Amino acid sequence: MGARKVQKPENLLVSHTSSGQPMVKLTDFGDAVQLNSAHYIHPLLGSPEFASPELVVGEPAALTSDLWSLGVVTYVILSGASPFLDESVEETCLNICRLDFSFPHHYFQGVTQGAREFICLLLRADPARRPPAGLCLQEPWVQGQAGLADAQGQGRVEGGCLDTSRLVLFIDRRKHQTDAKPIGGVQSFLQSRLQPQA
């Protein structure tokens, strides 16, 4: 059992505790549901760029569906760009189903291989191949053992800071989008595009 909610950067808040350690908090659980069975199909809403392939094609949600969203959010935070966003909802969904993403150098300059591997670990088409949340927390990149590359490709950059200018533009673009409107017709479009050619 678990809560089902597609996360996006706007739903993450960071607060600083008295110990000096930042604490990440999730917000906006308006359309979250408790997964009590293996057959819950979450409706595809608004912008699908954070939705996992199983949600995009209308299959049942899994506990690891949210881990896909975490992979997309991690990509966005590190690069300021979306891995799957395209000109239309349909093309975005097609990119998700085809795992059509890359790590362009101009967006990922200074981001280590460990961070990229963490993203790839989560962005797996088969929800059963995504690790459970507990294992994700043990990943070296999450533990702070690898993150932003310095001049030798090791450790973190001075101050451990990312250039967030693209991220600010990304979040500004999303401010005016609604994620509550159901999306129709995507599944039939995907079926026609994903079926093997004869």
Query: Strand pairing partners for 14?
Result: 24
Residue 14 domain flag: no
Mean pLDDT of 18-47: 67
User: What CA dihedral angle connects 173, 111, 116 and 170, to 10 degrees?
Assistant: 0
Question: What is the tens place of the pLDDT at every residue in 172-181?
Answer: 776 655 555 5
Count Cβ neighbours within 10 Å for each residue of 58-87 and write b for 16 or more, e otherwise.
ebbbbbbbbbbbbbbbbbbebbbbbbbbee
Q: What band does 151 get if pLDDT is binned at 50, 70 and 90? A: very low
Above 90 in pLDDT, residue 158? no
Domain assignment present for 3: no
Cross-strand bridge partners of residue 35: 2
CA–CA distances in Å: residue 77 to residues 2, 141, 169: 25, 14, 12
Residue 140 lies in a domain: yes
25 found inside a domain: no
Q: How many domains does the chain have?
A: 1
Tokens for 11, please give them. 């739903």
Q: Which is more confidently placed, 52 or 179? A: 52
Q: What value does the mean pLDDT take over residues 36-47?
A: 65
Percent of all residues in the chain with a pLDDT value above 90, rounded to a whole number: 25
With a cut of 70, say whether residue 8 has pLDDT above it: no
Write out the two tokens for 131: 């690790």
Is the pLDDT at 46 greater than 50? The verdict is yes
Q: Do 5 and 40 meet the contact criterion of CB atoms below 8 Å apart?
A: no
Identify whether 73 is part of a domain: yes
d(CA 8, CA 26): 10
CB-neighbour burial class of residue 167 (10 A; exposed 0-12, middle 13-18, buried 19+): middle
Percent of the chain with pLDDT over 70: 60
CATH number at residue 59: 1.10.510.10
Q: What predicted TM-score, i.e. pTM, was given to this entire model?
A: 0.75
Q: What per-residue confidence (pLDDT) applies to 33?
A: 65
Tell me whether residue 32 is in a domain: no
Q: Does any domain span residue 11?
A: no
Lowest mean pLDDT among 21-30, 61-70, 181-190: 181-190
- pLDDT recorded at residue 97: 92
Rounded Cα gap, residues 133 and 135, in angstroms:
5
For all residues of the chain together, what is the average pLDDT? 76
78 pLDDT higher than 80: yes
Instruction: Please check whether residue 31 lies inside any domain of the structure.
Output: no
- Listed in sequence order, the DSSP H helices in 17-142 are 53-56, 65-79, 89-97, 105-108, 113-122, 133-136
| pLDDT in the model for residue 152 | 46
Q: Tens of pLDDT along 100-120?
A: 999 999 888 888 888 999 999
pLDDT at 32: 64
pLDDT of 42 > 70? The answer is no
Residue range(s) defining the domain that contains residue 188:
38-194
Query: Are 12 and 143 in contact, with CB atoms under 8 Å apart?
Result: no
